[in-house]
Structure 1
Amino acid sequence: MTIPDGKRVAIVDDDPLFLEHIEAALLREGGLRVVKLNDSKSLFDALQNQSISCVVLDQNLGAESGLAIGQALREQVANPPPIIMLTGAGSERTAVKAFRIGFSDYVPKRNLQNRELIGAIRSAISRAEQDQAARERTKKLLEGERHDSLTGFYADHYIRARLEEMTSGRHASPFALIAVRIKDSRTIHARIGHRASEMLFRDLAAHAAKLDIRGGYWGHLGTDTLVSVLEDDPGEDDVADACRLMASKLKFTVSHDGLSIDCEAIVGASLFPQDGHTADAVIDTALAESDRAATLEARWATSFLDPGTEAVANSQLDDSLAVPTPDRRGMDLSPPDGIDRRRSDRRRDQRYRVLRRGRAIVDGLHSVIDCTVRNLSESGAQLRFASYFVPPDRFKLEIVGAGEPRWVLVRWQVGNDVGVQYEEQG
C-alpha cells in the first residue's frame, strides 16, 4: 500500500458505490486521501473548510452538470485547485468545452484505469504547484522592483506611479511630499567620487529609516533625493513636525579615505493640490523648496513656523522674497515710501516662514482662488498660486483659520509668487 502524502482529492459523483471504489483505489495505489462529495454545495463547503489539492468532477450529476460546476468554481473561488473532468459518455466537444473553461484534464469514466486517473491527478497537482511557485517568484521580483537596492526604500518608478495615482482622476487625494537631500551633495560627489557618494546616500537613508514619520513612507527619487510621502490629507502641523524632525536628526559624520565629511540634510516640502495639480508639479516644488533652503542657509523645518513661534532671522531671507520685481503687466509694483522691504527695514518688520492655506477673493468678491501663504509679517504676506494669473491691484485675502479676510494691495509678482501688503484701515 502506498503511504499517503497528505494530498486531498475531492471526488464529486452522485454514485456512492463508485465513490467507495475510487476512494480505496486512490489511497491504495496513489497514496491520495479522498474527500467524497455528491453535489456542488458540498464541494464549495469542502473548498472553504479543507485544503483540497485537486477536484475530480463527474460531468453528469443528475440536475447539475460538471461543466457548469467547474465554471462556477473558477469564477467564484480564489486560486481554485485544478479540476479533472470525469465522464461516462464523453465526446470531443465536451472535452473542448472543459479545457476552455479551465479544466486541467479529461478522463473517460468508461473502462477507467486507476493508474490513468492517478497519473492525471498527480500531473494536475504538479502543474498547479509549479504555476504557484512561478507566481510567487514573479511576485517577489515585482516586490523587489518596487524597492531600491541602494536604500531599501520604494524605488523612483514606484513613487512616481503612486504620486500619479494620487493626483489624477477620481483617485486624487491630498498629500504632502517632503524632499530630503544631503547639503552640498554635488560638491561632495565631485570631491569623493561616485561610490563614496552612494555610501553617503545609503547612510542618509539608514538614518531616515529610524525616524518615526507619522503616516509617511520613504522613497528614492532621482539620483540624490529621498522623499517621504504623507498621505491621507496630512495637517500642516504634521508636515511641520516631520520637517523639523528630519532637519534636526539627519546629521551625521562619515570618514572616507582620511576625510571626515559632515553631512546635513536639506529639506523641502510641497502639498497637493496647493502646490500643483500634477505629480511632476508637486515634485518640482518640493525640490525647489529644498534648493531654497540650501541657498538661504536655513533648514526647511524652520519654514513651517506659525506666527508667534520662533522666527527666521530676516537677514536669512532671500531678497527675491522681498525686493519688488516688475511683472509682465508692465506695472511698477515697488512699495511706497515707508514700507521698503530691503535689509534694514526688513529687520524691523520681522517675517515668519509659514505654510498655510489661503484664499484670494477677487472679481467683485465673487471668485475665490486658492493659494498657499509662505511668508508672513505684520504688514503683509507672500502668496503662491498653483498657476500663473494676474491678480487685481487690490483684493481680499483670507488665511484659513486666522480670522476674517483682510484687504491687501499687490506690491510685487514673480511668476506664481505674489507679495501683498495689508491695507491700512482708516
Structure 2
Amino acid sequence: MRLEPEAFDKVSADEQRLAALHQLDILDTPPELGFDRIADLIRLIFGVEIGIVSMIDGHRQWYKSVFGLGTSEASLNSTFCRYTLTLGHQVIVPDATKDPRFYDNPHVVDGPRIRFYAGAPITTHDGLVIGTVCAIDTTMREFGERETAILMHLAALVMRELELRQEAATDVLTGASSRRAFKEEVKKHLSLANRHALPLSCIAFDIDHFKRVNDTYGHAAGDKVLSGAVNALKTGLRQSDCIGRVGGEEFSILLPQTELATAVNVAEKLRHLVKDLRFPGSNPPIAVTASFGVAALGPSDDIETFLNRADQALYQAKRSGRDRVCSAAAANEPEKKNRRRVLKAGQIIFNGGRSTYDCTVRSLWENGAEIAISLPAILPEQFELLLKGSAEKYACTLTSRTDSSIEAVFS
C-alpha cells in the first residue's frame, strides 16, 4: 500500500504512519480468518503460548488476532512492541527478566509474566510501521536467525493480506462487496442524499452463533452458510441496494432512497429469509438465524457515524436475544461542521497538568473531536487535548463517552 503523495506534506513521521494505518481501515474490525491463521501459525511454528497480529495507533496496541491471551489491546506505553515500532526492525528478548528495558514491565512482573518475546514490524512499501507480529512465551528461549527470518516473512504476509483486502472489490466467498468497495458505495450515496435531501438507510446484520456452526460442522459448512445467506438476501433486495461483507460474519446493506420505517420492514423480510434457510450435509440440516440493526442517515452523519449507528442497533438486537430487528434512535445531535476522519496521536491533560493519558483522535470538526482512550470513565468534564504531531492544544468539555471513546467540544 502507498500513501497518496499529499499525505506526506508537512506531517511528522508518526502522522505519516497513522495516515497509512487510517487508509487501511483495519482498526477495531471483527476477526478475519486470514489473520487468525497467521496468529495461530506463530504459535505452532515456534511452539510458544501466545501469537499476536497487532496494529498500533496513537495510544495502544490493538490485536487484530490473538491466541493465548484474553485481552484485545494493551496500552502502548506498557508493550514490548513499542520498541519494535520505534526501531523499525525485529526485537528479540530471550529472557525479559534479564533485559534492562523490560525486567520491571508490568507484563513481566505480573500477569501474564512474559519471559520470551519476539516481534517483527508490519511495514508498508513506504517503510511505515503500522503494526507487529509477536511470538510470546512465559518461558525463556533462544531465537536464531532462521526463526527471525520466518517471523519477518509472517509479518510480510500480514501486510500482503492487508493489501489484498484493500484491492478487492468483491468478497470471493459470498459475492458481496468488499469492505472497502461497500464504504465507497456508501460515501457516494451519502453525498447524493445530502445534496438532494434524499432518505438513506443502512442495515447491519450478522449470523447468530456463527462460531458454533464452525466448531460443530467445520469451516467448509460455515462458508456454505455465509454464501447461502447472502444469496438468499439478494433475492429480497432491489438492484439499487448494495450488500457488503464488513467482517467475518458481519455484513451491511445500503438502501438508497429508503426511510427508516421501510428499512425496518426490509430487515424483517430478510430475517425470515435467513431463518427459513436449510443447509444439507448434516442430520438435521443446518439452520441459522440472524440479527439486524437499522439506521437512517442523520443530518450531521458522516460515513463512520452513519454505519456505527446501524452497528449499535445490531448489538442491541444481539443483546436482546438475537433473531430480531432493532432500529437506531433518530440522530438529534448538534451539527458537526466540516467533520473529517483522522487518526492522530494525542494526549489528554487534566488535574492542573499533573495527570496525562495518551489517546488517539479519530475525528475532528470545527469545534470538537472524537477521541479513543483506554479508560474513558476516569476523565473529568474539563480537560485539555494536545495533538502531538502539531502541538495544537484545545481546552475541552466532555459531551459523551462510551466504553472506549469520548466526544468533546472545544471551549
Q: What is the TM-score when the length of structure 1 is the normalising length?
A: 0.35
Q: Which has the higher contact order (CA 8 A, sep 6+)?
A: 2
